[in-house]
């Protein structure tokens, strides 16, 4: 083996922590953002076209910016939040900020697809607006939300490879430095194998969970 096993292990841990923390942030911020987009949309129960457009534009703006550009453009914010501009923690800030709007849009679609008849039934039984969000929209959209979260995690594994550009480490960084820059094919192949395994595990678990939710 051209590099010690510990290097792979460390890179895997770095990738997992980047993806886990930014995924967590994306989930915690993306769901409320999606709810905000839904309730302020035309016909929603806190209808506010101006707020809806404003939030929508910000979301679109972040989604339109390529991640590698975001990574550099957000350096001042990263320094403010993480206290550093290199390392795993520095990568988590731009990763979270790019994943949140992406995930929010997926959640928004899932929420919009909840049968309007269920909302009507909830109104008829005397549910208030937030009761409907909490007891109807979110639980009924859960399979879609989990499916969307799986996609987001897989996308984050991809983006985290680029985070090597800010010295964050991780599997992608290992592949670029050894496999690409030093023409070490063995490292490249091995890293790709680990990434494939990682993506498969995430996708498989997500699918299993969604299937369980739908089949109960």
Interface residue list for other proteins (CB under 8 A): 115, 117-118, 120-128, 131, 135-136, 139-140, 142, 213, 215-216
Shortest distance (Å) from residue 127 CB to other proteins: 5
Which residues, other chains included, contact 191 with Cβ-Cβ below 8 Å and sequence gap of 6+? 8, 11, 171, 172, 174, 175, 179
Q: What is the DSSP letter of 181?
A: T
Nearest CB to other proteins, comparing residues 76 and 117: 117
CB of 117 to other proteins, least distance (A): 5
Of 182 and 211, CB closest to other proteins: 211
Instruction: Describe the crossing of helices 138-162 and 5-40 by its angle, rounded to 10 degrees.
Output: 140
Report CA 199 to chain centroid distance, whole Å. 14
Helices and strands in the chain: count of H runs, count of E runs: 10, 0
Q: Minimum Å distance from CB 205 to other proteins?
A: 20
Min dist CB 182 to other proteins, Å, is: 52
With respect to other proteins, which residue has the nearer C-beta, 55 or 127?
Answer: 127
Nearest C-alpha neighbor of 104 from the set 5, 206, 186, 32: 32
CB of 102 to other proteins, least distance (A): 24
Alpha helices (H) in 41-177, listed in sequence order: 49-64, 67-73, 75-82, 88-112, 116-124, 129-131, 138-162, 171-174
Residue 75 or 127 having the CB closest to other proteins: 127
């Amino acid at each position: 083996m051209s590099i010690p096993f510990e290097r792979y292990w460390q890179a895997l841990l770095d990738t997992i922590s980047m993806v886990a923390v930014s995924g967590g942030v994306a989930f915690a911020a993306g769901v409320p953002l999606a709810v905000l987009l839904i309730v302020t949309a035309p016909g929603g129960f806190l209808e506010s076209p101006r707020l809806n457009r404003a939030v929508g534009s910000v979301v679109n703006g972040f989604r339109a910016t390529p991640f590698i550009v975001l990574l550099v453009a957000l350096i001042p914010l990263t320094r403010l939040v993480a206290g550093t501009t290199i390392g795993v923690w520095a990568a988590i800030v731009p990763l979270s900020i790019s994943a949140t709007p992406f995930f929010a849009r997926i959640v928004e679609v899932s929420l919009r697809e909840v049968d309007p008849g269920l909302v009507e039934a909830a109104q008829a039984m005397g549910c208030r607006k937030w009761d409907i969000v909490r007891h109807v929209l979110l639980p009924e959209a859960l399979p879609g939300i989990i499916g969307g979260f799986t996609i987001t995690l897989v996308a984050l594994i991809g983006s985290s490879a680029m985070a090597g550009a800010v010295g964050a480490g991780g599997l992608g960084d290992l592949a670029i430095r050894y496999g690409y820059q030093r023409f070490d094919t063995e490292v490249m192949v091995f890293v790709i194998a680990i990434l494939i395994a990682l993506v498969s595990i995430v996708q498989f678990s997500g699918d299993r969970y969604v299937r369980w939710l739908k089949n109960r």
